[in-house]
A = this chain, B = another copy of it.
Amino acid sequence: ISQSFCIFLLLLPLRESEMNPKRCAACKYLRRRCPKDCIFSPYFPPNDPEKFACIHRIYGAGSVSKMLQQLPVQTRAEAVDSLCFEAKCRVEDPVYGCVGIIYLLQTQIQKAENLLAKTQAEIAVAQTKHSQTPKFDYM
């Protein structure tokens, strides 16, 4: 009886009531049981395994778990989304990651601002010409 009780105690952390009935994508990936209070579970549903695979490849499960634990619960979903975006960018572009997107956007802003300055200069010229043209009021 004493031995059975010991086995029962050992199995306590694995009780079904403390586990999610369906493992989240992170626990599936990490080949472990998914506890009810799993930090990944709300953000990595089982039907999207790629989301965790990507984030794990770049940051590792430990880093992501640590980062999430340091955040208030209401900001974690947004944090996971931005981490996933960065991880995807890094997988697609291992040298520049999403910093490559920042460079591109900065170039785009520079171009838009140059075009704006040019257009505003054109307006100024057009307005000067317009004001120099004699006006006749027929009314």
Contact = CB atoms under 8 A, between A and B. Distances in A.
A96 interface: yes
A100 to B, nearest CB: 7
Nearest to A100: B82
B95 A79 contact: yes
Tallying the copies of this chain within the complex gives: 2
Chain A interface bracket (under 10, 10 to 19, 20 to 34, 35 or more): 35 or more
A86 interface: yes
A98 B96 contact: no
A78 B100 CA distance: 11
- Nearest 7 pairs between A and B by C-beta? A82-B99, A105-B105, A112-B112, A75-B95, A79-B95, A119-B119, A82-B96
Interface of A: 58-60, 62-63, 67, 70-71, 75, 78-79, 82-83, 85-86, 90, 94-102, 105-106, 108-109, 112-113, 115-116, 119-120, 122-123, 126-127, 129-130, 133-136
13 contacts: A67-B90, A71-B95, A79-B94, A82-B95, A82-B96, A86-B90, A98-B102, A105-B105, A109-B109, A112-B112, A116-B116, A122-B123, A126-B127
